[in-house]
Amino acid sequence: MEILYENILSLFQGDGWKYIVMWVIGGLLIYLAIKKDMEPTLLLPLGFGTIMVNLPFSGAIGPEGPLTTLFDAGIANELFPLILFIGIGAMIDFGPVLSNPKLMIFGAAAQFGIFLTFCLASIFFDIPDAASIGIIGAADGPTAIVVAQALNSKYTGAIMVAAYSYMALVPIIQPPVIKALTTKKERLIRMPYRASNISKSTRILFPIIITIIAGLVAPSAVALVGFLMFGNLIRECGVLDSLSETAQKVLANLVTIFLGITIATKMEATQFLQWETLLILGLGLFAFIFDTAGGVLFAKLLNLFLKEKMNPMIGAAGISAFPMSGRVVHKMGLKEDPQNFLLMHSIGVNVSGQIASVIAGGLILSFFA
């Protein structure tokens, strides 16, 4: 009873109110996961972990705390994000991109917000921190973790939370931006899908070639791109079907759970409730918006020179939030015209964005690590 009394008393003294605020934040993340079905495999463990680490004198963190041990073993050394990339790679079908290679350029165009945000963040933060904040715009949680850890950013927790939270909020963030930048006529543009017969050899060679090219262009991206492409190679080789299925389901889900609850160690009230955190969240939103805008505007630019017009909404799928962004664009197309099926095009752009985001992360590391 004495311990209970001391813990309750601590909530009403000094900075005790901050613990309660973090409980509310944790509860909000759990609510979004369960009620709104926003990335529940990530937000639910993140929300629950936030509550765990913000209990007075919590035994979950600290030198002997299990969450701290997990963080040191899986995130501090970048192991969890890289393993997760194997699962993501096994989920991705590069068929739509191989059928229409020009979709690859949208993945690059949609990374515009990363570098614009870096320039803006450098006004308020040191260069390594600004570079880490900019990568939030990649809409790729594992890449954001790897970059922030490699650059030893002081704001790793806020960056992780911003990256994953905005990934989950893609269905809310992207539609208003897309509508603001496109006309009704543009959103009604139909893009018939012409599937090509992609040979098995091409599918196998593609991840190998991409890894080699990325390694030559941005050596620091080898681990990021390599693990992603290795997962895809497992999928496409045809002799490791059971391993591919395990990577897509069991491995990806298990690592995501560990990531979510472990990231919460950086959600301690004393570290998280600072003006810098709010600024990082704002800059992360800025990066997401301008990445979306960059892809849409690039598609509109291409339409000035193309005879067969593209629906500019697919450019928004160039961010790396796979497959959420591709689905959002497809649903928007159906809402405008129930016979307009943009899924294969938007997913093709989406997977190209996955590649572009890890290369962008590698370039950031090459410049500033």
Please count the other Cβ atoms lying within 10 Å of the Cβ belonging to residue 297.
Answer: 17
Q: What angle do CA 272, 39, 128 make, to 5 degrees?
A: 40
Q: What is the 3-state secondary structure (H, E, C) of 224-249?
A: HHHHHHHHHHHHHCCCCHHHHHHHHH
* Per-residue tokens: 187: 């959103």
For the chain, the farthest-separated pair of C-alpha atoms sits apart, in whole angstroms, at 77
Nearby residues of 316 by Cβ (< 8 Å), 6 or more positions away: 110, 174, 177, 178, 292, 295, 296, 325, 328, 329
Phi, psi (degrees; rounded to nearest 5) at 294 = -60, -45
Closest CA to 152 of 166, 137, 131, 169: 131
**Parts of the chain with a pLDDT under 50:** none
Give the integer Cα–Cα distance in Å for 142 and 236.
23
Burial class (CB within 10 angstroms; exposed 0-12, middle 13-18, buried 19+) of 3 = exposed
Residue 242: its pLDDT value, please? 92
Residue 12: its pLDDT value, please? 54
Nearby residues of 348 by Cβ (< 8 Å), 6 or more positions away: 96, 97, 99, 100, 103
Residue 96: its pLDDT value, please? 82
* Per-residue tokens: 126: 């040191």
Cα distances from 263 to residues 55, 143, 304, in angstroms, run 16, 14, 45
Residue 171: its pLDDT value, please? 82
| Residue pLDDT, tens place only, 195-218 | 678 889 999 999 999 999 888 887
Residue 36: its pLDDT value, please? 80
Residue 351: its pLDDT value, please? 86
